[in-house]
Structure 1
Amino acid sequence: MDAFFQKLDLDGDGPLYLRLKAALAEAIASGRLKPGAALPAERDMAAALGISRVTVRRAIEELTREERIERRQGAGTFVAEPLTRIEQSLSRLTSFSDDMARRGLKPGSRWITRGLFKPSTEEVMALGLSPGARVARLVRVRLADDRAMALERSSLPEDILAAPEIVETSLYDVLADAGVQPARAIERISACCLSEAESLLLGMAIGAPALTVERLAYNGAGRVIEVTRTLYRADVFDMVAEMTF
């Protein structure tokens, strides 16, 4: 393994830790560093490359945050197993929790915001709220087997979701229990790059590609009862639509 690191090409422009990160990422992507392979200790890697431990540590931290490398308590640092790509159907109105459970993954959430708030101008317009109305706002990182998969921001009228704190996993299960679940939805999909704040929440590199899905959900009477904007990791999700002729 020391010989492998001695042959890494760190030439180029930019900070040395980013060049090391790029070289390691390329080695992982090409299969020269295989999933499950143990990496040397930081001091040994630094010695083999002739660079500082601080530089090695910063590169490893970046790759760990992007889930290319994982640290195992008491065991060391290893090349992470690649994430299995997920096909997200655009044909049916389903919840993230149900989608993950059908794939044998454990759904979860890391909550950022959950409560009733004064609505923003955008929420008033999208939800058709009257003056003085409040909005239930849910912001969370969606997890599958404890891995961050998406960043989801949902807004609903207070009369549709009066107690947002009861939502633990599936919002749609809570709405169904209350008899106010959506009947149909319109979704708009676009590509974007993650901001610094978004990348930190998803454990991705700043500017990493993502898929934005903006959803307007309607009840049976045609009223908008949910506005959701979800950022899906582009390295994990494929959006699939079924069409018939």
Structure 2
Amino acid sequence: MLNKQSPLPMYYQIEEDIKKRIAKQEFLPGESIPSERALTEMYDVSRMTVRQAVNNLVQEGLLYREKGKGTFIAEAKMEQSLSGLTSFTEDMKRRGLKPGNKLLSFEVKEAGSPLAKKLGMEADERVYEVRRVRLADDVPMALETTYIPYGLMPELTEEHIQQSFYAYVEALGFTIGRAEQAIEAALADEYQAEALEIPLHAALLGIERLTFTTDGRPFELVQSAYRADRYKFLAEIHRN
């Protein structure tokens, strides 16, 4: 099964073989993979080699471990392009998934200096602060806090937030232009872990996005924590 004459390390060949089996649906999400002992016999290599291959696949998010139970095939990650500007609702519908929201809070508050600076406001002006869990087919995908200038859309309600916010913005006559986005790695704290139904200190993708209308006015600041076991972001990069 493995080419022991190849310059490619044995653990790498095992990783690639398991990936092919996942792609061919020989191993399905939620199913356990064979034990280390079984894999050692299957590939005719040392247990250390098998362990290295499995550890690498766990780090990639293709496998996950449950203490005392074994190692399992993870759900396939959603691929999100960084080249387009869509709302979560629009993106889930495009994938054929049912978008949903679990609204945690909806309130109006004073912006304060750091937030006001990002949104091009005065510190004493008001903003909507909306906290919610974003769902795909009822599965928690991201914990999101959104800030919106109150004066820009004073009639915004919880009902509008529960639908596609971008559709509401465009219905008001605004044209959405561009966004600035920053991504960083993070670990789930207790609040995030509970909201997203993931283990404490599980890997997250922390994302902050500031979105502008075509006339350059910022209308939305979103701070999100995406589940790293369910999401990955893709970017096409060209050499200047």
Q: What is the TM-score with the length of structure 1 in the denominator? A: 0.65
Asked if the contact 2:81/2:234 (under 8 Å) is kept, the reply is yes
Could you report, residue by residue, the CA deviation over 1:62-96 in whole angstroms, capped at 9, with x for unpaired residues? Answer: xxxxx999xxxxxxxxxx98433100110001011
1:135 aligns with 2:127: yes
Q: 1:7-86 to 2 correspondence within 5 Å?
A: 30-32=32-34, 82-86=74-78
1-side partners of 2:65 and 2:175: how far apart?
38
User: Counterpart of 2:213?
Assistant: 219
1-side partners of 2:91 and 2:82: how far apart?
12
Displacement of 1:120:
3.4
- Which has the higher mean CA deviation after the structures are superposed, 149-158 or 221-230? 221-230
User: Counterpart of 1:182?
Assistant: 176
1:104 aligns with 2:106: no
Could you report, residue by residue, the CA deviation over 1:74-119 in whole angstroms, capped at 9, with x for unpaired residues? Answer: xxxxxx9843310011000101111111111100000011232222
Could you report, residue by residue, the CA deviation over 1:32-81 in whole angstroms, capped at 9, with x for unpaired residues? Answer: 49xxxxxxxxxxxxxxxxxxxxxxxxxxxxxxxxx999xxxxxxxxxx98
Structure 2: give runs of 5+ residues left out of the alignment: 1-29, 36-63, 67-71
2-side partners of 1:181 and 1:141: how far apart?
26
Query: Quick one: structure 1 residues 31 and 226, their matched pair in 2 at CA, closer, same or farther if it must change by over 3 Å?
Result: same
Count of matched residue pairs: 176
2-side partners of 1:186 and 1:134: how far apart?
22
Amino acid at match of 1:158: Y
Q: CA RMSD in A?
A: 2.5
Displacement of 1:160:
2.3
Amino acid at match of 1:216: L
User: Counterpart of 1:234?
Assistant: 228
Asked if the contact 1:182/1:220 (under 8 Å) is kept, the reply is yes
2-side partners of 1:161 and 1:230: how far apart?
22
1-side partners of 2:77 and 2:163: how far apart?
22
1-side partners of 2:123 and 2:88: how far apart?
32
Asked if the contact 1:115/1:136 (under 8 Å) is kept, the reply is yes
User: Counterpart of 1:3?
Assistant: none
Displacement of 1:139:
1.1
Q: What is the TM-score with the length of structure 2 in the denominator? A: 0.66
User: Counterpart of 1:201?
Assistant: 195
1-side partners of 2:130 and 2:32: how far apart?
39
1-side partners of 2:225 and 2:82: how far apart?
15
Amino acid at match of 2:91: D
Which portions of structure 1, spanning 4 or more consecutive aligned residues, are displaced by more than 6 angstroms?
Answer: none
User: Counterpart of 2:7?
Assistant: none
Partner residue of 1:169 out of 163, 174, 177: 163
Asked if the contact 1:137/1:156 (under 8 Å) is kept, the reply is yes
Asked if the contact 2:143/2:196 (under 8 Å) is kept, the reply is yes
2-side partners of 1:181 and 1:136: how far apart?
20
Q: Secondary structure at the match of 1:112?
A: strand
Amino acid at match of 1:125: K
Displacement of 1:174:
1.0
1-side partners of 2:194 and 2:33: how far apart?
27
